[in-house]
Structure 1
Amino acid sequence: MRLTALLFCAALLAGPALAQTPALAPAEQTMARTVVAEHDRHIALLERLVNQNSGTLNLPGVRAVADMLRPEFEALGFDVRWIDMAETGRAGHLVATHAGPGRNVLLIGHLDTVFEADSPFQTFVRDGDTAVGPGVGDDKGGVVVILSALRAMQAAGTLRDASVTVFLTGDEERTGAPLSVSRKDLIDAGKAADFALEFEGLAIENGRDFGTVARRSSTNWTLRTTGRTGHSSGVFNDALGYGAIYELARILDAFRRELPEPNLTYNVGVLAGGTPATLDADGFRVAASGKTNIVAETAVARGDLRALTPEQEARARDRMQTIVAEHLPRTGAELVFGDTGYPPMAPTEGNRDLLNRLNAVNRDLGLPEMAEFDPARRGAADSGFVAADVPTLGGLGMAGSGAHAEGESVDLNSLVRQAQRAAVLISRLSLQP
């Protein structure tokens, strides 16, 4: 935690020094004190959550984390329901609602992690102010920030009239299909909300916290090419043409040369070509065989496309299809985009207004203001499914490093400032006229 935040927390606990932060209302001072006082409680909760494996495909594990969280929300007066997602091959979503008269604030997080039950990385380990564990930051730390903030609001009396919906998906790391089912309830919650706050990890660089007003989309694509096979002595002639591999190479190189623009990326993750070349049902593994003197009959490549706005993604898709259609002689190609992608969270004025409001909270808490984080350096998230309908701010979870890899860690002190920020911001948003 930064020195300013540490001094502020100490002042809150000391009592008389509260006069040094006159911008905080009395209830907000109570919230800040409560977060500090309950810090150890929330670290203990984080440990319990992390030690329960909830890899996306571990459906009982995801449900077990939801069952651990249900009483935590019910104790705060929330109505809690489970939305089963067996239809999509996933566990489901946990939704907790507090129906006060205030403006509705949607809080978004997720129950699942990338670490499945067979991963060797399974245990929460604390070393001073750092904790390491599967999903400790992405996103169990974010879920704990939500609970810490809501408990602080309850202690201060601001939760009583607040309207809050907590939506914790069970398949954020690997969405179920079709999206029309797996994200329908989240999209509906976004349409019903006045504001949305997403609790993925805090963006931090050189010790400075940043706000997330934009995230790029994430969509998978599959490219298949075909060619006439035969003896390699005839390659490039009118009878055989160029073969499937040259057609694949032409297309991918044209993507590299013709698509570049700011905030747009289009990675190729796996490819194969030969006679034949195949892609498995999951889309992760390829196989191919062939000989140097045979013109390749088939080729396949898979990758992703990331864009900052729907317009940019549509423009890139159209250009990619145009490139694919310009076949080399005697070849064919087909480009198919997946149906389980994440839409972008575009940098709207509504999102920036939310960051301005958060920076007002920062000033009142004695914390530095937060600039916008570069969206090209953040992954996609569930906030993209609601951002088209409601002002959205992301990155309100804990600060950490190494997400999606063994050794994922968080700074436990960041829980304090993030929960303080969230408690004050949620209260102000919901209870404003």
Structure 2
Amino acid sequence: MKHLFMLLVLTLSGTSAVGAVESLSLSATEMQIVEQVKRELPQALAGLEQVVNINSGTMNFPGVEQVGKVFLQQFTELGFQSQWLDGKAFNRAGHLVASYGQRGPKILMIGHLDTVFAKEDDFQHFQKLSDSQIAGPGITDMKGGDIIIVSALRALKKLGLLDNVRIRVVMTGDEESSGRPLSLSKKALIDAAKWADIALGFEDGDSNIKTAVTTRRGAGGWTLAVSGQAAHSSQIFTPQVGDGAIYEAARILQAFRQQLSAENNSAMANLTFNPGLIIGGTRVEEQAEKSQALAFGKSNVVAQTVKVKGDIRAVSQQQLSQAKKIMQVIVADNLQRTKATLHFDRGYPPMADTQGNRKLLSLYSNISEQLGYGPVVAVNPRKAGAADISFVADHVAMALDGLGLMGKGGHTKDEVADITSLGKNIEKAALLIYRLGQTEQH
């Protein structure tokens, strides 16, 4: 990996024998790639319509597997060694893994098959709104990205230009709602990352074709449980009764906000921590599977129990660890006659911003400019959520995400693709893979 990284650094600085590739215009071979992508764009659009029309909400296991088998057949036809990995062990449909090549840099291409739209949802179909806009469940997040992966590889394969790279494609079936345990649900991704030199993710990033993702914030959950002394409200604040669970929860949440906000702690820039559910009273009952809860309490009774659930997102493992320590100190400084505990769930790790990632972005941006599409810059990490590439980024020399189909309204019934970005991003992906293979030759 170090050898490949140094080659790419030299390429981008214009000091290696590959400097000609960084000229102001595309080579004759690269022009052939672009023309091949254009010829196959109708096939890409038809494929997109086919998979969007198959419901693959994460928990619709047959639907997720059906989408996976559509792509498995396409990879098999391209000469890839392809397999479906059953997900019973982590309570999900499973994953698709496809591999190709015997020499050259090892490139991991990441997609996912599932969407946030359940089988019962009324948002189910591919719908053309105009010449440039198409609506559909998961069209940008991320069936469009999956189509970009297979279309870029198909164009290179048809031109005989796929033999200078080694490719492994992993399309997961649980990106929107990870199976448990993570050690099993993410094993295929992490194994591929340990094999790879480079990771490319085909999520839609912030849905701006002028940006790509060099860093992603990690995302995990936390649960705050608070207990107090139940009593008549007339006795609140006395040494015998204390402040009650609701005041203690309010103290803790306000202290989180004050001590972890970026305006008060510069080390916490881009950190967010959101309490998404709070319930308190004499008795509480959480119904986690329905994302709801029940409570009993009266205005003249000091609250005995509070539960708060939220998430936390950090740009680095160091920032996350520091934030967790501060939060635990806050939680331990209890008001009188109250107790509190804070539990963190394992979630998506941060994808750190590295020199390798930036070099890969520079190469991708150069390709975009030579195609006449303008430069591509790093996205603000606040504008891109967690994604599967976060599990692999620490294992590769360089990683880049946000290379998928652009649009708007992801995770809502207003999800609409900017279909003009489909061909552009297939071209960029194909040229990026081709140039990575050329880099390795010198």
TM-score (norm: length of structure 1): 0.92
Compute the displacement of 1:81 (Å): 1.1
In structure 2, the partner of 1:384 is 390
Task: Give the ranges of 4+ consecutive aligned residues of structure 1 lying more than 6 Å apart after TM superposition.
Answer: none
Q: Residues of 1 paired with 2:414 and 2:322: CA distance?
A: 38
Give the conservation status (yes or no) of the 8 Å contact 1:103–1:431: no
Compute the displacement of 1:397 (Å): 0.2
Other structure's SS at 2:289 match = coil
Cα gap change, 1:152/1:312 in structure 2, threshold over 3 Å: closer, same or farther? Answer: same
Task: Render the CA deviation track for 1:390-420: whole Å, top value 9, x for unaligned.
Answer: 1110100011000000020101110111000
1:308 aligns with 2:320: no
Compute the displacement of 1:361 (Å): 1.3
Cα gap change, 1:190/1:283 in structure 2, threshold over 3 Å: closer, same or farther? Answer: farther
1:347 aligns with 2:348: no
Give the conservation status (yes or no) of the 8 Å contact 2:206–2:383: no
In structure 2, the partner of 1:6 is none
Other structure's SS at 2:169 match = strand
Cα gap change, 1:256/1:364 in structure 2, threshold over 3 Å: closer, same or farther? Answer: same
Compute the displacement of 1:202 (Å): 4.8
Other structure's SS at 2:121 match = coil
In structure 2, the partner of 1:362 is 368
In structure 1, the partner of 2:237 is 236
Decide which of 280, 287, 304 is 2:287's aligned counterpart. Answer: 280
Q: Which amino acid aligns with 1:115?
A: F
Q: Which amino acid aligns with 1:266?
A: F
Give the conservation status (yes or no) of the 8 Å contact 2:92–2:179: yes
Cα gap change, 1:266/1:382 in structure 2, threshold over 3 Å: closer, same or farther? Answer: same
Q: Which amino acid aligns with 1:379?
A: G
In structure 1, the partner of 2:40 is 38
In structure 1, the partner of 2:50 is 48
1:420 aligns with 2:427: yes
Give the conservation status (yes or no) of the 8 Å contact 2:98–2:170: yes
Give the conservation status (yes or no) of the 8 Å contact 1:214–1:346: yes
Other structure's SS at 1:138 match = helix
Give the conservation status (yes or no) of the 8 Å contact 2:101–2:163: no
Compute the displacement of 1:24 (Å): 1.8
Give the conservation status (yes or no) of the 8 Å contact 2:214–2:379: yes
Q: Which amino acid aligns with 1:188?
A: D
Q: Residues of 2 paired with 1:380 and 1:364: CA distance?
A: 30
> Unpaired runs of 5+ in structure 2?
1-22, 263-268
1:188-199 equivalence runs, <5 A: 188-199=191-202
Other structure's SS at 1:239 match = coil
Task: Render the CA deviation track for 1:135-175: whole Å, top value 9, x for unaligned.
Answer: 00100000001111111111222113321111101000000
Compute the displacement of 1:372 (Å): 1.3
Give the conservation status (yes or no) of the 8 Å contact 1:202–1:400: no
1:168 aligns with 2:171: yes
> Unpaired runs of 5+ in structure 1?
1-20
In structure 2, the partner of 1:5 is none
In structure 2, the partner of 1:213 is 214
1:31-180 equivalence runs, <5 A: 31-127=33-129, 128-180=131-183
Q: Residues of 1 paired with 2:359 and 2:285: CA distance?
A: 49
Compute the displacement of 1:430 (Å): 3.2
Q: Which amino acid aligns with 2:333?
A: E
1:324 aligns with 2:331: yes
Give the conservation status (yes or no) of the 8 Å contact 1:50–1:134: yes
In structure 1, the partner of 2:436 is 429
Q: Residues of 2 paired with 1:238 and 1:184: CA distance?
A: 53
Give the conservation status (yes or no) of the 8 Å contact 1:278–1:300: no
Q: Residues of 2 paired with 1:320 and 1:394: CA distance?
A: 31
In structure 1, the partner of 2:377 is 371
Give the conservation status (yes or no) of the 8 Å contact 1:114–1:404: yes
Other structure's SS at 1:398 match = coil
Q: Residues of 1 paired with 2:307 and 2:111: CA distance?
A: 35
Compute the displacement of 1:282 (Å): 3.1
Q: Residues of 2 paired with 1:144 and 1:192: CA distance?
A: 24
Q: Which amino acid aligns with 1:364?
A: Q
Give the conservation status (yes or no) of the 8 Å contact 1:93–1:170: yes
TM-score (norm: length of structure 2): 0.90
Q: Which amino acid aligns with 2:368?
A: N
Compute the displacement of 1:71 (Å): 1.1
Other structure's SS at 2:210 match = strand
Q: Residues of 1 paired with 2:290 and 2:308: CA distance?
A: 10
Q: Residues of 2 paired with 1:320 and 1:296: CA distance?
A: 23
Q: Residues of 1 paired with 2:290 and 2:225: CA distance?
A: 12
Give the fraction of aligned pairs with identical amino acids, expressed as a percent.
Answer: 44
Aligned residues: 410
Give the conservation status (yes or no) of the 8 Å contact 1:203–1:209: no
Give the conservation status (yes or no) of the 8 Å contact 2:284–2:296: yes
Give the conservation status (yes or no) of the 8 Å contact 2:207–2:408: no
Give the conservation status (yes or no) of the 8 Å contact 1:96–1:167: yes
Compute the displacement of 1:185 (Å): 1.8
Q: Residues of 1 paired with 2:303 and 2:115: CA distance?
A: 40
Decide which of 333, 340, 363 is 1:333's aligned counterpart. Answer: 340
